[in-house]
Structure 1
Amino acid sequence: MAEKENPKWAGIGSKFAHLTAAHPCFGVKAHFTVARIHLPVAPRCNIQCRYCVRKIDKCEQKPGIAACIMDDEMALKRLEAEVKSNPSLKVVGIAGPGDPLENEATYRLLGRIKESYPDLILCLSTNGLLIEDVADKLKDCGVRTVTVTINAVDPEVGSKIYEWVRYNGETLDEAKGAGLLIQKQFRGIEELVKRGVVVRINTVLIPGVNTHQIPRIAEEASKRGASLMNIIPLIPQHGFKDHRRPTCQELEEARKAAEKHLPQFRLCRQCRADAAGIPGKEGGSGATSEYFHG
């Protein structure tokens, strides 16, 4: 079902028209006309996904990759240069390469950007573990959109996807860690929505592992106020290096099943943590669309 044919899109289009028109990761038209920049200031992560590899690399076009980790001043200079050179820039995101909420630099930088560039849309991606704890902080920093990566609703399934979860100094393995993470993710969505933040869900489709979970993820997220969902294919690496990618048919079937509960964004191209440019344009860094790493 095309986005314009799904009645659920009418709601997101009217309620968040200012964002869907200006955010290339939320609106189809904006995807081809609006630029965004990701500032890689967040190296630390509090979970280990079996599909995730984080590293410093100048060439690889994969999630969790950045040419360097920037400090506040480097990031602000990078943003200043992009603002001057690219009049279509409207969105600044922090997407890793770790989890932004685990890194204090995220909050410092967002606060400074809010003061210096009040017209830019501030967004970030997260695995959701810490949202409930820092929701007020995010609102104060000016964050308007958050993408939460949720890959399961059942801890047993989550245990196949997450190696460990670290919270409040304690490292939890497999099902116990996955159970805490899932609980915190859905609570976090509720807290963001209460504060007027627009929430999108990212889900990595892992064939034979979480395929059956995807409609339930969409349903539970929708109940808590999420506005949009982005289902992306597994990139086989790390613990899933020998696992196959989903087929195009499997990906579309998952999207159609989830679309009963949440509108689906279908243009994601799984970009680096330091991507910049217009996602939908070919060539250069702008060709790498956004993947909100979780």
Structure 2
Amino acid sequence: MSVSGIASSACAAHGMRQAAMQPAFPDLEGKHPCFSTTAEGHAKAARLHLPVSPLCNIACAFCRRDFNRVEQRPGVAARLLKSQEAVEVVERALRLIPNLTVVGIAGPGDPLASDHAIETFAEIHARWPHLTLCVSTNGLQLPARIGDLHAAGVVTLTVTVNAVDPEIQAKITPKLAWERKRLDGIEAARRLIDSQLTGIARAAELGFTIKINTVLIPTINDHHIGQVAETVAAAGARMINVIPLIPEHQLAHLKEPTFIERHKARADAARHLKVFTHCQRCRADAAGVPGLSDYTADLYGDDLQTEPTFSHG
């Protein structure tokens, strides 16, 4: 290669590194920890998760939801809150956490499988319109509920998309509840993927800021992350968070992805979307700056009784 060719390649590589360092969402950088690309932005703002959603409409092979105070992972909370209780928690949190900017709902079930999350968002938005409202969903009911989320003041959206190939998705989510019926296997997978992509496209049309969560599962979807990123990017997503599998439930026999496997999957995704790399795999009742501060015990105390009312539909 000539000297000029080497220089040109070096400049191109430098340009790619500079682009990777730019915030994905400048308006949210430092204001939403889960949509901030840089470590500095991630560490500035606190978020509050409200565990108001009791039901889930899909059954993922890796998902084991629970009520406890010790596990630090999605699908876990100390208890469920009613909408009014959640509003009171926000009021306390605003006094306790000076850098609180985001209120999100991410479980313990799926926020769109019942009305609890949307009702809670609407009440919070009416009282504190300056807060950024955020929802994390599996996307099965997203096309039907995206208008309700928009009306309730939600502006940031995370959709968990683990595959866009029904053969792969069927291994990850073998069954779901759809219109009062149980769907299994490929039929369930096709239904979920279609709802997710349709919902993402409609959310983009309404101006939502959209991030994708993808669980990296060795031997199942580890070769498929690039295709997921390309497909959801075409639908309207702008960021992806590749989350290493926590080996549990029906996938307890698998190993957590290695550093090299995580790096390769994120590199595959980065060809199509900005990649979020600061995920702490938060609880459904998390409060504070992810990985830096935790106000959960201060907000919820030790006198609350657990309410194990999970359901798959």
**Please, what TM-score do these two structures have when normalized by structure 2?**
0.86
- Give CA-to-partner distance per residue, 1:83-137, whole Å, 9 cap, x none: 0111100000000011000121111110000000100000010001111111111
> Which one-letter code corresponds to 2:138 in the other structure?
N
- CA distance in 2 between counterparts of 1:2 and 1:285 reads 42
Please say if residues 47 and 103 of structure 2, whose CA atoms lie closer than 8 Å, have aligned partners that are also in contact.
Answer: yes
RMSD of aligned alpha carbons? 1.9
How far 1:283 sits from its partner (Å)?
Answer: 6.3
> Which one-letter code corresponds to 1:162 in the other structure?
T
Residue of structure 1 in register with 2:192 after alignment: 181
- CA distance in 2 between counterparts of 1:74 and 1:116 reads 14
Q: 1:233/1:3 Cα in 2 relative to 1: closer, same or farther (>3 Å)?
A: farther
- Give CA-to-partner distance per residue, 1:61-84, whole Å, 9 cap, x none: 121000000001211111111001
Please say if residues 206 and 233 of structure 1, whose CA atoms lie closer than 8 Å, have aligned partners that are also in contact.
Answer: yes
Structure 1 SS opposite 2:223: helix
Task: Give 1:1-294 correspondences, 5 Å limit.
Answer: 5=17, 7=19, 10=22, 13=24, 16-27=25-36, 28=38, 29-281=40-292
Please say if residues 3 and 263 of structure 1, whose CA atoms lie closer than 8 Å, have aligned partners that are also in contact.
Answer: no
- CA distance in 1 between counterparts of 2:21 and 2:204 reads 18
Unaligned runs of 5+ residues in structure 1 are 287-294
Structure 1 SS opposite 2:35: coil
How far 1:35 sits from its partner (Å)?
Answer: 0.2
Structure 2 SS opposite 1:101: coil
- CA distance in 2 between counterparts of 1:67 and 1:163 reads 28
Please say if residues 92 and 120 of structure 1, whose CA atoms lie closer than 8 Å, have aligned partners that are also in contact.
Answer: yes
- Give CA-to-partner distance per residue, 1:251-294, whole Å, 9 cap, x none: 011001110000100010111100000114166659xxxxxxxx
How far 1:5 sits from its partner (Å)?
Answer: 2.3
How far 1:167 sits from its partner (Å)?
Answer: 1.1
Q: Give aligned pairs, total.
A: 283
- CA distance in 1 between counterparts of 2:137 and 2:35 reads 16
- CA distance in 2 between counterparts of 1:172 and 1:2 reads 49
Aligned-pair identity (%): 41
* Larger CA Rg, structure 1 vs 2: 2
Please say if residues 6 and 263 of structure 1, whose CA atoms lie closer than 8 Å, have aligned partners that are also in contact.
Answer: no
How far 1:214 sits from its partner (Å)?
Answer: 0.6
Residue of structure 2 in register with 1:291 after alignment: none
How far 1:170 sits from its partner (Å)?
Answer: 1.2
> Which one-letter code corresponds to 1:244 in the other structure?
K
- CA distance in 2 between counterparts of 1:6 and 1:240 reads 38
Unaligned runs of 5+ residues in structure 2 are 1-12, 298-313
> Which one-letter code corresponds to 2:34 in the other structure?
C
Residue of structure 1 in register with 2:305 after alignment: none
Please say if residues 3 and 9 of structure 1, whose CA atoms lie closer than 8 Å, have aligned partners that are also in contact.
Answer: no
- CA distance in 2 between counterparts of 1:45 and 1:177 reads 14
How far 1:39 sits from its partner (Å)?
Answer: 0.1
- CA distance in 2 between counterparts of 1:239 and 1:134 reads 30
How far 1:163 sits from its partner (Å)?
Answer: 2.4
Q: 1:3/1:262 Cα in 2 relative to 1: closer, same or farther (>3 Å)?
A: farther
Please say if residues 41 and 70 of structure 1, whose CA atoms lie closer than 8 Å, have aligned partners that are also in contact.
Answer: yes
Please say if residues 286 and 294 of structure 2, whose CA atoms lie closer than 8 Å, have aligned partners that are also in contact.
Answer: no
Q: Runs in 1 of length 4+ with deviation above 4 angstroms?
A: 1-4, 282-286
Structure 2 SS opposite 1:261: coil
- CA distance in 2 between counterparts of 1:171 and 1:85 reads 44
- CA distance in 2 between counterparts of 1:143 and 1:30 reads 21
- Give CA-to-partner distance per residue, 1:11-69, whole Å, 9 cap, x none: x64xx422233100011323211100000000100000000011111111121000000
How far 1:9 sits from its partner (Å)?
Answer: 6.5
Please say if residues 104 and 135 of structure 2, whose CA atoms lie closer than 8 Å, have aligned partners that are also in contact.
Answer: yes
